């Protein structure tokens, strides 16, 4: 049971919320591609907490920092993931860390933490830098040819290349390929998870629409890709038994891992975690960097500050090549934090109460779904002055960064299920942004507004940019 009790407790039935239709509840109002916006607008209208209904599923929406921290802290025992998400992931045979619960989750989390701790991530810096150099060349070509850059598509290639190297020890090098790559299939999987989450009834269990058949093709392509990665890891371990003692990546760690009772991971679990690594490592980081680039196109002053910082830190280099220089790139950190505050890739987190409990002063029955409106916490928080403004300076000396990680916006979540990939993600973000600031001036390609699209993660729509090489003059240390 939760430790937080309050005399003036609220029940689900006491909560305000938008009126819905019989049977469907609020399903028709919850456009899957704008779900974050609809949920946030209702939070403005009804306050927090409020209630909604999707078909027969009832959910409480919370946009309160204390409640969010408590729910994060009390996982996986008191709160679990939203049950429909677990069922949808299982139907797609995605059985890894993300959908796992209870002891299954504890076991898998240990292997992930081992593979993704900072000491494991550090030696990977050199190959990450090589991948960043490939991205620089791709953007340089577009800059010289005067072509628009589809920022998000290029960054998806970048993050898949990094993830396959890091999780599977395999260089996919999709950055130097044209045409169809695994990213398109991953995108479809995300899109369909999101769509199915918002459906009032799971129609696909009875009949399949063309989009469901497309999903099957994409799942097959992702599965074949993951199987090939796993098979290569198996062969490497067979050829080099030393790897069984000192695995060098996530899949090797899972393949050689033994529990205290000697049990090993099943093929399905290894396969599921390979997919989770691809899904969790790709969109999240690519979208964050894409949003950062969008912010720079809107705020030329911030772009100039970033260029000045990087010119001073990098000397004659075109890339960030010394890991120790990370602490000198404080303006990049500030832009990262501010972008994650305004455009968090996970603006909503979907949970469910495992037992009757109290969340703050709210009495929840076992099985009540809880949606955390994470972005709303910081864009409506009194902690931030002018909260809708893009102001990286608020994170610099004397700003919020001095006051600890536990404040909103919590872009990597919190508690025991906090994102295990954050060290890797932060290294990727810094590497790409340092390369960008050192080599290119970036502007919006056209007047078309860039909008938000929710597809399980929050992504920019219509983001095309003009990359111009920075002149030698601009590159001089200011
Ligand atoms: C900027 C980049 C990223 C952001 C903003 C981000 C954000 C998040 C958030 C908010 C959660 C918590 C979800 C919850 O509470 O249920 C999470 C979980 C997770 N993330 Fe990330 N993430 C990023 C990058 C990555 C990368 C690069 C990887 C791995 C390669 C990764 C792997 C995972 C996994 C496996 C989980 C589930 C953890 C668990 O349930 O125990 N993430 N991430």
Q: What is the CATH number of the domain that holds 270?
A: 1.10.630.10
Euclidean distance between CA atoms 47 and 35, whole angstroms: 17
Same domain (yes/no): 341, 356? no
Sign of the dihedral through C-alpha 17, 23, 28, 30: positive
Euclidean distance between CA atoms 223 and 229, whole angstroms: 10
Euclidean distance between CA atoms 153 and 457, whole angstroms: 15
- Do 44 and 396 contact (CB within 8 A), yes or no? no
Where do we find the tokens 């992702």? Answer: 222
Same domain (yes/no): 105, 137? yes
Same domain (yes/no): 22, 136? no
Euclidean distance between CA atoms 292 and 313, whole angstroms: 20
Which residue, judged by its Cα, is nearest atom 27 of ligand 1? 281
Is the beta carbon of 98 within 6 A of some atom in ligand 1?
yes
Is the beta carbon of 412 within 6 A of some atom in ligand 1?
yes
Question: 155: CA distance to ligand 1 center in Å?
Answer: 17
Euclidean distance between CA atoms 66 and 416, whole angstroms: 16
Same domain (yes/no): 47, 111? no
Is the beta carbon of 33 within 6 A of some atom in ligand 1?
no
Mark which of 357, 379, 401 sits at the end of a domain: 379
**Exposure of 247 in the CB half-sphere (CA atoms within 13 A):** 21
How many distinct structural domains can be found in the chain? 2
Is the beta carbon of 52 within 6 A of some atom in ligand 1?
no
- By most ligand atoms within 8 Å of CB, the mutation choice from 79, 412, 414 for ligand 1 is 412
Euclidean distance between CA atoms 288 and 343, whole angstroms: 8
What pLDDT, on the 0 to 100 scale, is given for residue 182? 83
Q: Which residues contact 144 (CB under 8 A, 6 or more apart)?
A: 469
Is the beta carbon of 32 within 6 A of some atom in ligand 1?
no
Residue range of the domain that includes 186: 93-346+380-475
Euclidean distance between CA atoms 43 and 228, whole angstroms: 45
Residues forming beta bridges with residue 240, ordered by sequence position = none
Same domain (yes/no): 75, 53? yes
Tokens at 240, concatenated = 């080099």
What pLDDT, on the 0 to 100 scale, is given for residue 7? 58
- Give the helix, strand, coil percentages of the chain, each rounded to 5: 55, 10, 30
Question: 1: CA distance to ligand 1 center in Å?
Answer: 26
Is the beta carbon of 187 within 6 A of some atom in ligand 1?
no
Is the beta carbon of 345 within 6 A of some atom in ligand 1?
yes
- By most ligand atoms within 8 Å of CB, the mutation choice from 77, 96, 332, 419 for ligand 1 is 419
Q: If you write DSSP's letter for every residue of 293-346 in order, what string do you get?
A: HHHHHH-HHHHHHHHHHHHHHHTT-SS---GGGGGG-HHHHHHHHHHHHHS-S-
Is the beta carbon of 277 within 6 A of some atom in ligand 1?
yes
Same domain (yes/no): 40, 78? yes
What pLDDT, on the 0 to 100 scale, is given for residue 269? 85
- Do 292 and 339 contact (CB within 8 A), yes or no? yes
Closest atom of ligand 1 relative to the 374 alpha carbon:
10
Is the beta carbon of 135 within 6 A of some atom in ligand 1?
no
Q: Where are the alpha helices (DSSP H) in 62-209?
A: 65-73, 83-91, 102-116, 118-121, 125-145, 151-168, 182-197
Same domain (yes/no): 141, 242? yes
Same domain (yes/no): 282, 352? no
Tokens at 132, concatenated = 């960043």
Same domain (yes/no): 335, 351? no
Mark which of 355, 379, 403 sits at the end of a domain: 379
- For 25-135, where are the E strands, in sequence order? 50-54, 57-62, 79-81
Which residue, judged by its Cα, is nearest atom 11 of ligand 1? 419
Number of H helices, E strands in the chain: 17, 12
Same domain (yes/no): 232, 246? yes
What pLDDT, on the 0 to 100 scale, is given for residue 477? 40
Euclidean distance between CA atoms 78 and 111, whole angstroms: 23
What pLDDT, on the 0 to 100 scale, is given for residue 148? 95
pTM: 0.92
Q: How does DSSP classify residue 102?
A: H
What pLDDT, on the 0 to 100 scale, is given for residue 97? 92
Question: 250: CA distance to ligand 1 center in Å?
Answer: 15
What pLDDT, on the 0 to 100 scale, is given for residue 478? 35
Distances 90 to 82, 84, 98, 269, 448 between C-alpha atoms, Å: 13, 10, 11, 11, 39
Sign of the dihedral through C-alpha 130, 132, 133, 138: positive
**Exposure of 50 in the CB half-sphere (CA atoms within 13 A):** 19
Which residue, judged by its Cα, is nearest atom 42 of ligand 1? 421
Same domain (yes/no): 3, 140? no
Euclidean distance between CA atoms 253 and 265, whole angstroms: 10
Q: What are the φ/ψ torsions at residue 459 (nearest 5 degrees)? A: -120, 155
Is the beta carbon of 286 within 6 A of some atom in ligand 1?
no
Tokens at 16, concatenated = 């305000």
Rounded to the nearest 10 degrees, how much is the dihedral formed by the CA atoms of 101, 105, 106, 109?
-150
Euclidean distance between CA atoms 104 and 145, whole angstroms: 51
How do the pLDDT tens digits run along the chain, 478 residues long? 333 444 588 999 999 999 989 888 998 999 889 999 999 999 999 999 999 998 888 999 999 999 999 999 999 999 999 888 888 988 998 888 998 999 889 988 988 887 777 677 777 888 999 999 999 999 999 999 999 999 999 999 999 999 988 888 888 899 998 766 788 888 888 889 888 888 888 999 999 999 999 999 999 998 888 888 889 888 999 999 888 888 888 888 888 877 666 778 888 888 889 889 988 998 999 999 999 999 999 999 999 999 999 999 988 889 998 888 888 899 999 999 999 999 999 999 999 999 999 999 999 999 999 999 999 988 888 778 889 999 999 898 765 544 544 567 889 999 999 999 998 999 999 999 999 999 999 999 988 899 999 988 999 999 999 999 996 544 444 3
Is the beta carbon of 426 within 6 A of some atom in ligand 1?
no
Same domain (yes/no): 191, 313? yes
């Amino acid at each position: 049971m939760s430790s937080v009790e309050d005399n003036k407790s609220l029940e689900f039935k006491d909560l305000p919320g938008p009126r819905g239709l019989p049977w469907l509840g609020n399903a028709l109002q919850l456009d899957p591609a704008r779900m974050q916006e609809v949920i946030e607008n209702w939070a403005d209208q009804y306050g927090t907490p409020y209630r909604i209904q999707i078909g027969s599923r009832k959910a409480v929406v919370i946009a309160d920092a204390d409640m969010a921290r408590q729910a994060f802290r009390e996982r996986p025992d008191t709160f679990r993931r939203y049950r429909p998400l677990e069922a949808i992931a299982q139907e797609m045979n995605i059985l890894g860390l993300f959908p796992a619960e209870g002891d299954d989750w504890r076991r898998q989390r240990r292997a992930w933490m081992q593979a993704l701790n900072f000491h494991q991530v550090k030696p990977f810096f050199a190959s990450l830098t090589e991948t960043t150099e490939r991205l620089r060349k791709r953007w340089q070509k577009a800059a010289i040819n005067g072509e628009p850059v589809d920022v998000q598509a290029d960054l998806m290639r970048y993050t898949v290349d990094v993830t396959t190297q890091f999780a599977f020890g395999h260089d996919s090098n999709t950055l130097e390929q044209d045409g169809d790559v695994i990213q398109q299939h991953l995108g479809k999987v995300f899109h369909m998870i999101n769509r199915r989450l918002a459906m009032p009834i799971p129609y696909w269990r009875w009949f399949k629409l063309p989009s469901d058949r497309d999903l099957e093709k994409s799942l097959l392509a992702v599965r074949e890709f993951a199987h090939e990665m796993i098979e290569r890891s198996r062969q490497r371990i067979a050829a080099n038994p030393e790897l069984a003692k000192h695995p060098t990546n996530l899949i090797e760690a899972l393949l050689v891992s033994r529990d205290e009772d000697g049990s090993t991971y099943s093929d399905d679990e290894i396969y599921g975690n390979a997919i989770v690594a691809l899904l969790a490592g790709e969109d999240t980081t690519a979208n964050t960097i894409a949003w950062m680039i969008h912010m720079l196109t809107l705020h030329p002053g911030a772009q100039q500050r970033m260029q000045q910082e990087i010119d001073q830190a990098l000397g004659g280099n075109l890339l960030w090549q010394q890991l120790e220089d990370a602490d000198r790139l404080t303006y990049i950190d500030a832009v990262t934090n501010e972008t994650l505050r305004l455009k968090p890739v996970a603006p909503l987190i979907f949970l469910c109460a495992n037992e009757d409990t109290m969340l703050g002063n709210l009495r929840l029955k076992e099985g009540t779904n809880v949606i955390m409106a994470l972005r709303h916490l910081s864009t409506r928080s009194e902690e931030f002055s002018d909260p809708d403004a893009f102001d990286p300076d608020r994170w610099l000396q004397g700003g919020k960064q001095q006051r600890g990680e536990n404040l909103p916006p919590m872009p990597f979540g919190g508690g025991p299920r906090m994102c295990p990939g954050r060290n890797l993600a932060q290294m990727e973000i810094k590497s790409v942004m340092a390369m960008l600031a050192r080599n290119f001036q970036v502007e919006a390609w056209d007047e078309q507004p860039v909008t938000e699209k929710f597809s399980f993660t929050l992504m920019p729509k219509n983001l095309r940019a003009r990359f111009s090489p920075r002149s030698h003059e601009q590159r001089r240390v200011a």
